[in-house]
Amino acid sequence: MSNPQIISTGAEPLGSGTGASGDRSGARTGHSRLQAFWRGALLPVSILAVWQICGELGLISPLLFPAPLTIGAAFVKLAASGELHSNLQISMLRALGGFVLGGGLGLLFGLAVGLFRHTEKALDPSVQMLRMIPHLAVAPLFVLWFGIGETSKVLLIAKGAFFPLYINTFIGIRNVDNKLFDVARVLGFSRFKQLIRLVLPAALPSILLGVRLSLGVAWLGLVVVEIMGSTSGIGYLMSDARQFSKTPVVFVGIIIFAIVGKLTDSLVRWLERRLLQWRDSYQGK
């Protein structure tokens, strides 16, 4: 018997090419993310560098614009004492409570007004009038009605968080293609099934935009309620530091508000990418 000949094709095993391609793709993705990070960090890093140099040269007042390293030292001191953590925790709980209450009601009212025309005629004019009332105009009334405790603060934050989600939910529902409802009726979908399988997925991009805007307004409302009258929270920390001319602490509070606001917005944007993978939209060049 003759030994079987092994013919070498020079081809690699099937899985090896795929693995190498996947590694290259992952490396490219990581590299592009790193590039995007540095592009976004270029402007703030440059501003901080120029700011620090101007401070060291005495070109700006250390009382009005303390140098970044001075602000960093104040941040470390507040963090080490635990004062920053305790006040930040209180502020985040207030903002979260106001957003959940106001945003949740905004979503429910937006669904009701968007789905039913009679509800829109009954509720929307009143809601739009309330939307035009500024925070500072109703803040004294909230304090008078609910006292200076947590209730008035959370309700004032909820007032601001209500309207963006309400409006975007309403617009998202009304922008759903009417032909999809015709298809749903042909398929025999119930009203609830239409809402779950048709309306909410189609309106989801607009609803998530409303969530982003509501979170931003809730965070801004938090600043108002804590600076106006509070004995705890990041806003109180800033107000107390301002009275004693501790400008670095004021800047620490501003930076904390900016960072936490950016993180919450990035979280919602991440949810958008996860939930809206089916959407083929223009991403820019």
Tell me: do 125 and 225 sit in the same domain: yes
Q: Which of 176, 203, 212, 226 has its CA nearest to residue 103?
A: 212
Distance CA 272, CA 257 (A): 23
37 domain-assigned: yes
Kindly tell me if the per-residue pLDDT of 62 is higher than 50: yes
Asked if residue 237 has pLDDT above 90, the reply is no
Q: What average pLDDT does the segment 135-139 reach?
A: 77
Residue 19 in any domain: the answer is no
Both 90 and 53 in one domain: the answer is no
My answer on whether 236 and 124 are in the same domain is yes
Alpha helices in the chain (DSSP H): 14-56, 68-81, 83-115, 117-131, 135-146, 150-174, 178-186, 191-194, 200-228, 234-243, 247-275
246 found inside a domain: yes
**Does 80 lie in the same domain as 53?**
no
- Of all residues in the chain, what percent carry a pLDDT higher than 90? 12
In a domain, 142, yes or no: yes
* Segment of 19-33, 53-67, 89-103 carrying the highest mean pLDDT: 89-103
Q: Is residue 114 in some structural domain?
A: yes
In a domain, 10, yes or no: no
Q: Are residues 47 and 91 in the same domain?
A: no
Tell me phi and psi for residue 176, to 5 degrees. Answer: -65, 135
* 105 has pLDDT over 80: yes
For residue 210, what are its two tokens? 């409303």
Are both 47 and 121 inside the same structural domain?
no
Q: Are residues 144 and 254 in the same domain?
A: yes
What's the pLDDT at 164? 92
Q: Is residue 89 over pLDDT 60? A: yes
How many other CB atoms sit within 10 Å of the CB of residue 119? 14
Asked if 54 and 186 sit in the same domain, the reply is no
Residue 102 sits in the same domain as residue 48? no
Cβ-contact 106, 214 below 8 angstroms = yes
Cβ(166)–Cβ(188) under 8 Å? no
In the DSSP assignment, the letter for residue 196 is I
In a domain, 1, yes or no: no
CATH number of the domain where residue 137 is located: 1.10.3720.10
Whether residue 67 lies inside any domain: the answer is no
Give the mean model confidence (pLDDT) for residues 109-117: 89
Write down how long the chain is: 285
Whether residue 197 is found in the same domain as residue 256: yes
Residue 8 has pLDDT above 50, yes or no: no
Q: Are residues 45 and 134 in the same domain?
A: no
How many domains is the chain partitioned into structurally? 2
Q: Helix, strand, or coil here: 253? A: helix
Q: Are 181 and 198 in contact (CB under 8 A)?
A: yes
Residue % of the chain over a pLDDT of 70: 84
- What confidence tens digit (pLDDT) does each residue in 182-212 have? 777 788 877 778 778 888 888 888 899 999 9
Q: What's the domain range around 31?
A: 27-60
User: Which pLDDT belongs to residue 11?
Assistant: 45
Instruction: Give, as one character, the DSSP assignment of residue 147.
Output: -
In angstroms, the CA 48 to CA 69 distance is 9
Q: How far from each other are the two terminal CA atoms of the chain, in whole angstroms?
A: 66
- Is the same domain home to 221 and 197? yes
